[in-house]
Structure 1
Amino acid sequence: MIEILNATELAQAKATGALVADILQSLKNRTTIGTNLLDIDRWAAAMIVEAGAQSCYVDYAPSFGRGPFGHYICTAVNDAVLHGLPHDYTLADGDLLTLDLAVSKGDVAADSAISFVVGESKPPESVAMISATERALSAGIAAAGPGARIGDISHAIGSVLSEAGYPINTEFGGHGIGSTMHQDPHVANTGRPGRGYKLRPGLLLALEPWVMADTAELVTDADGWTLRSATGCRTAHSEHTIAITQDGAEILTLPRRTQP
């Protein structure tokens, strides 16, 4: 299913996107050495409930998971990259943490992810990998607009990631979003320009470049959810929800505030 949102729905999408971004920013500000992943999950739950919104994850039970997910946010540490199930783990200095959050409010969902290094130690390889995903995300957004094709976005993202030297996995990527979290079209993190679905104003897309330092192969944890690099290398993931407009693309998941 591919949804095209009307003006009222787009206004709600902007509000939901800002809420997602604000929660992620608050969680990043509160996270430090000694923070437990379960604390992050509880903080996210409290902010979602306080906002009168709903988590897209608690009851999420796709065919590839061991559902339902049962938590409010994905927390992936170091070699974990996608669907990180919050568990009893205390963050250490230099850990690379990815927070991935999807929330629905007013029957419209928004989805975003950020990666950052915890504490004072900033391993250069981790910083470079995070930067590559952020640059790829910016390139993908720049390639989006009315009349462009999904392949144009995929090509823009993949070009940045490949030039940075990272292998690219195509099993999981970006996706359409709207009344539900995951919709068509699929947006692979590499592809050929000029191919695929033609973008129209009112379409929402969640673009999410992610990479693993030295492999494109994933393995699944015993929890049935958390996806890790097959080699144990570190990973990074950046994501925004965007709306296709008459003039280009608008990022919906930018924070309105930065305080905890």
Structure 2
Amino acid sequence: MNIAIPEKAQQTVQKTIKTTAHRGASSLAPENTLAAFMKAAELGCDWIEIDVQLSLDKVPMVIHDRTVDRCSNGSGAVAELALSSLKQLDAGQWFGQAFTEERIPTLAETLCLAKKNNLKVNIELKLYPQDDVQVLCERISEVITESQCIDTQLLFSSFNAEALKRMQNLQPQIRRGQLWEKIPTDALANLKEIDAYSVHCDYRFLTERQAQQLKQSDYQLYCYTPNQPALVEQHWGWGVDMMITDKPQAYRAILAYAS
């Protein structure tokens, strides 16, 4: 049976496929693991978002929290654990038995998987108070150069404007996105300073006026982390370009229903 969909609804459905898998398909597999990234690839996602910080021995690791406590069977700060110790941890069993012995991946491992599976990668530069922003950026830059990823396959994002400025110097050809929870009143001046490509903000605090101002200034606009498409129906009309979500499959379901 054919389902009649109003023209306006059809336009909305077309836009809903523009999603980034937040920490991979993190509703279907443990976040920031190779398993989650593979799930995203299997879903047909174009983009994954990952968090990168340094181990004790300055290896870029893909993990969000300052500590390993929540998403592994270990404990302690990532910055105080060497690569060899981090690789011994089980980063999957907390999510489900099927993911037992999943490991915390390095950035190098993640970029290798992304290249093989045609995934684009939004690399969030994750900084905590004790971290050295210059060292983090230098180590990430080295891994990216070694990976030989195509520039358009990557995007840097961060809440830390200094980190984005440093990446502008180290990898100027790779686009940069400023992360904000709430967009500040001086947003345009800040974006110009880092020659930003995109703005990434919490969908709950974005206003239509802010969205229109950013789009008129020719910035890409991404929202995090709406896991139900109904929460952001109006946002597409405001000009939002992409949703960063734990549940990209929910947005694909809308497309499948419409077809």
When you count strand as a share of all residues, which structure comes out higher?
Answer: 1
Bigger Cα Rg: 2
> Considering the TM-score relative to the shorter chain, is it more than 0.5?
no
Q: TM-score, normalised by structure 2?
A: 0.29
When you count helix as a share of all residues, which structure comes out higher?
Answer: 2
